[in-house]
Structure 1
Amino acid sequence: MTQDAAENLKTFGVTTLSDALDRLGIEGQCLGIMPFARSMRLAGPAFTIRMLPTGQSGGSVGDYIDDVQPGQIVVIDNDGRMDATVWGDILTLVADRRGIGGTVIDGVCRDIDRSIELDYPIYARANTMRTGKDRVTADAYNVTVQIAGIRIAPGDWLVGDGDGVICIPASRVQEVIEVAGQIAAAEEKIREAVLRGDRLDETRKKLRYHALQTRESGAKA
């Protein structure tokens, strides 16, 4: 299912998937987490890492990359810290060679030239030069984390493009794909109509455009 789901999700823009999340009452938009190149795309299940300040206990940013499976997305919760990187050149190189699907960080990374050179997708708040060594430590792996206030459990799906990144609960991926397909089809009909010269307001009304993203009655969160 993993490869099929990834390919299906990549056929939609993140904006369409975001609208599907809204319609289904799912909070999944990781606001403020952006790619370093607009051409970057990712879709895959999460391998999660929770970072904490080192404090007096010490520790490292973690040697986990060899345990991440091809197609998985590395999801690092660094509490939005902007002063300590948790991803850099060597991790990018290894992740790319292993076929890992990308990296999403609530925080910052460094050595972005390597990710752009390899077209390895990294989504983060920003980039900077200062290492996280002796500043943050990998506290837990494959636990529930937060990215920009969005709860992400191991195996939940991350999808990203030039407009940002969203999270879809693992149990609702197929549901989101179906609703995104309905929204994409309606929007394509609107584009076709206006290109024929039809009025936009009338076309939107006919196709119930303004209801496309409205939360469905009884939709479970």
Structure 2
Amino acid sequence: MTDTVGDTTGTAVTALRDLDTSHVSDALDRLGIAGQCLGIMPLDRSFRLAGPAFTVRYVPVGTDPGSVGDYIDDLDPGTVVVLDNAGRMDATVWGDLLTATAARGGIGGTVIDGVCRDSDRALELGYPVYSRGRWMRTGKDRVRVDGYQVPVTAGGVRVEPGDLLLGDADGVVAVPASRADEVIAVAGQIRDAENRIRADVEQGSPLMTARAIAGYHTLQTRTRSAD
């Protein structure tokens, strides 16, 4: 693997960092894209992440216990690890050693459709972990890796390798790589309109008037192409 995120993706990630998940969520709604990862929240409200997805899918063990995975040393800085553990709350797939290694390697963060453990280490290192919760029981001999860099599900959203993830205090959104520029452009328009409304209100304008001038009530309305 290379040492840095590709130039095109890097430009999109830089633009994404200037947005909040609410801006991107509204843009996804406007464009008819399902990208809001339900129920996956940060361990700490101060956490933020933005970067391209490296995906790992887990399944229950069978007669062959398999492995929970040795992948972390090979990832590019800035990558966001997306772990699909089918929303399981009874077995972890991320803990202390992975957090320490990821933080040292400049990994952008971790998103888990499931639970993590050793949460104090993530807080200590300021490493962004987003999950459905925390619980201490290991996934070893309970789940195994079924695939790397395959389509996965996170909070009901399909995430493919290279899709862009943005996380903040309100949760995580996933942006399809093929539509990243479009989503980011619309999200920027929404952010700028909200900033104008806020400025107008702070100058004494009624909120209803400020919203009407900025076209607020159509900002999230899904666009429809002409037949």
TM-score normalised to the size of structure 1? 0.96
Give CA deviations for 1:142-196 in whole Å, capped at 9, x if unaligned.
Answer: 0001111100111111110111000000011111111111111111110111111
Q: Provide the C-alpha distance between the structure 1 equivalents of 2:74 and 2:225, rounded to a whole number of angstroms.
A: 40
Instruction: Give 2:204's aligned residue.
Output: 197
Q: SS in structure 1 opposite 2:24? A: helix
Instruction: Give 2:48's aligned residue.
Output: 41
Instruction: Give 1:161's aligned residue.
Output: 168
How far residue 208 of structure 1 moved from its aligned partner, in angstroms, is: 1.1
The match for 1:211 among 191, 208, 218 is 218
Q: Provide the C-alpha distance between the structure 2 equivalents of 1:214 and 1:172, rounded to a whole number of angstroms.
A: 18
1:64 aligns with 2:71: yes
The match for 2:138 among 131, 141, 162 is 131
- Of residues 123-132 and 6-15 in structure 1, the stretch that sits farther from structure 2 once superposed is 6-15
Identity value in percent: 61
Which segments of 5 or more consecutive residues in structure 2 lack a partner in the other structure?
1-7
Instruction: Give 2:27's aligned residue.
Output: 20
Partner amino acid for 1:103? T
Give CA deviations for 1:108-163 in whole Å, capped at 9, x if unaligned.
Answer: 00001111111110000000110001000011100001111100111111110111
Q: Provide the C-alpha distance between the structure 2 equivalents of 1:25 and 1:45, rounded to a whole number of angstroms.
A: 21
Partner amino acid for 2:40? I
TM-score normalised to the size of structure 2? 0.94
1:121 aligns with 2:116: no
* 1:178-197 aligned within 5 A: 178-197=185-204
Q: Provide the C-alpha distance between the structure 1 equivalents of 2:68 and 2:199, rounded to a whole number of angstroms.
A: 51
Q: Provide the C-alpha distance between the structure 1 equivalents of 2:202 and 2:71, rounded to a whole number of angstroms.
A: 51
Q: Provide the C-alpha distance between the structure 2 equivalents of 1:175 and 1:119, rounded to a whole number of angstroms.
A: 31
Give CA deviations for 1:12-53 in whole Å, capped at 9, x if unaligned.
Answer: 111111001111111000010000011111111111000000
1:172 aligns with 2:176: no
How far residue 199 of structure 1 moved from its aligned partner, in angstroms, is: 1.1
How far residue 3 of structure 1 moved from its aligned partner, in angstroms, is: 2.8
Runs of 4+ in 1 over 3 A off after TM superposition: none
How far residue 218 of structure 1 moved from its aligned partner, in angstroms, is: 2.2
Aligned Cα root-mean-square deviation (Å)? 1.1
How far residue 4 of structure 1 moved from its aligned partner, in angstroms, is: 2.4
Q: SS in structure 2 opposite 1:50? A: strand
Q: SS in structure 1 opposite 2:23? A: helix
1:50 aligns with 2:57: yes
Q: SS in structure 2 opposite 1:80? A: strand
Partner amino acid for 2:120? D
How far residue 207 of structure 1 moved from its aligned partner, in angstroms, is: 1.5
How far residue 100 of structure 1 moved from its aligned partner, in angstroms, is: 0.8
How far residue 2 of structure 1 moved from its aligned partner, in angstroms, is: 3.0
